Structure 1
Amino acid sequence: MTDPRIHGLYAITDPTLIPDRRLLPAAEAALRGGAHLLQYRDKTASSAQRRQRASQLQALCRKHGALFLVNDDPTLAADIDADGVHIGQSDGGIARARQLLGPDKIIGVTCHSNLILAEQAADAGADYVAFGRFFPSRTKPQAPPADPLILDQARQRLTIPLVAIGGVDADNGCQLLAQGADALAVIHALFSHQSPEQIEQAARRLAALFSPA
């Protein structure tokens, strides 16, 4: 049965778009706008900075009733008692993350456009798999493309939630939901906006895609 926790707008931070001084206001704006999940992604900050920022973001998520995940660092996720972690194909594996986090935390895995990787992740205990990029991405322009049809194929073969990522915005997100995505992971369409008010408005437009007409 699909995990009901992994559903809706999934906001992912980017230190280039929202540097330190803008991180918390931008993240809170996305949460106010309806993000159900927030992932802290920052590969440039020091360990101390990452821990401080992750703890602050987690507090915001708890305030707004959203889930907080850490990118690529199950040790940090465990240390601050985050709701989970998102890992790639070369980040230490699901078994290690599960050992660190325990049975109830969320582990998501990047699977690009590969159903075999997704099935292996599900068999290994992943709580969701992420496919993409589906559209041109400014965050990862060199990421391999994925056909939206893979979501429909995965929906037929997997019972865990499917997250779609890569160039997702309020105009193209409906296509991915129609193909079977449970959540839309968004970076640029949220955090490229300069003001918290604009970010909140963008989040509301994206979150509205999940509401019945």
Structure 2
Amino acid sequence: MTDLKLKSQLQGLYAITDSKLMPDTDSMLFQVEQALRGGASIIQYRDKSDDIEKRRQQARALLDLCNQFNRPLLINDDVKLAKIVGAHGVHLGQSDGAVIQAREYLGSNSIIGNTCHDSIELARQACQQGCDYVAFGAFFASSTKPDASPAPMQLLAEARSTLPVPVVAIGGINMDNAGQVITAGADMVAVIHNLFASEDICAQAGRFDSLFTR
């Protein structure tokens, strides 16, 4: 069960794992620990493989690690895996089922986020169904999702002023442009490559975190 205090921590660096940058469990745990030590506020486990047992083992190991730092672990796209391992919640894309169904399955305390691409209307629908945050993007060119439609920067300001939940910006975010989306209205920045491909992950996480604490 998710500590309700974790829901109040939905601000700052939102770190997403990557199987290419983390070829095995040991490297994944080391890199995520460095991100947490540097100030990452939330971790999302993202693995698109069909290896169910590996995904369960890695998710459980990540959950133990996140609990040590009192940070939430969300599972990308997979409500069943989130339920099995007891993760703090799930992040859903538009093709991964409705927020309201995930809420019924995972319970009222779970954190549920929803990708809304470049659509404020999708975000409003997600809020009506009980999501805890919405994610917009891509705001910049993304190596993870190169075909993603570009989202306008003013969308963040509109979302921040009209939606009742925190807002995540995703897509090609790095230290050079993160300040732009934060100034525009993002409560969190979701980062993969510019965090986990850096030489010093802990220091890089700290630099992202400092953008929110100035």
Q: TM-score, normalised by structure 2?
A: 0.94
2:156 is equivalent to residue 151 of structure 1: yes
Aligned to 1:202: 204
In structure 1, C-alpha distance between the alignment counterparts of 2:173 and 2:58, rounded to whole Å: 25
Alignment partner of 2:116: what SS? strand
Aligned to 1:89: 94
Encode CA deviations 1:74-119: one digit per residue, 9 max, x unaligned.
1111111111100000101112211211001100000000011000
In structure 2, C-alpha distance between the alignment counterparts of 1:54 and 1:172, rounded to whole Å: 30
1:24-43 map, 5 Å: 24-43=29-48
Aligned to 1:13: 17
> Displacement, 1:45?
4.6
2:174 is equivalent to residue 169 of structure 1: yes
Give the AA of the match of 1:44.
S
Counterpart contact for 1:170–1:209, Cα < 8 Å: no
In structure 2, C-alpha distance between the alignment counterparts of 1:81 and 1:153, rounded to whole Å: 34
Instruction: Say what the alpha-carbon RMSD is for the aligned residues.
Output: 1.1
In structure 2, C-alpha distance between the alignment counterparts of 1:211 and 1:114, rounded to whole Å: 28
Aligned to 1:107: 112
Aligned to 1:60: 65
> Displacement, 1:55?
0.3
Alignment partner of 1:192 out of 177, 187, 197: 197
Give the AA of the match of 1:67.
P
> Displacement, 1:184?
0.7
Aligned to 2:78: 73
In structure 1, C-alpha distance between the alignment counterparts of 2:9 and 2:204, rounded to whole Å: 22
Encode CA deviations 1:16-67: one digit per residue, 9 max, x unaligned.
1211141111111111110010000000151111010000001111111211
In structure 2, C-alpha distance between the alignment counterparts of 1:148 and 1:58, rounded to whole Å: 33
In structure 1, C-alpha distance between the alignment counterparts of 2:69 and 2:98, rounded to whole Å: 30
Alignment partner of 2:44: what SS? strand
Encode CA deviations 1:150-171: one digit per residue, 9 max, x unaligned.
0001112201000000111122
Alignment partner of 1:112: what SS? coil
Q: Number of aligned pairs?
A: 207
Aligned to 1:127: 132
Moved over 2 A (4+): none
In structure 2, C-alpha distance between the alignment counterparts of 1:19 and 1:72, rounded to whole Å: 20
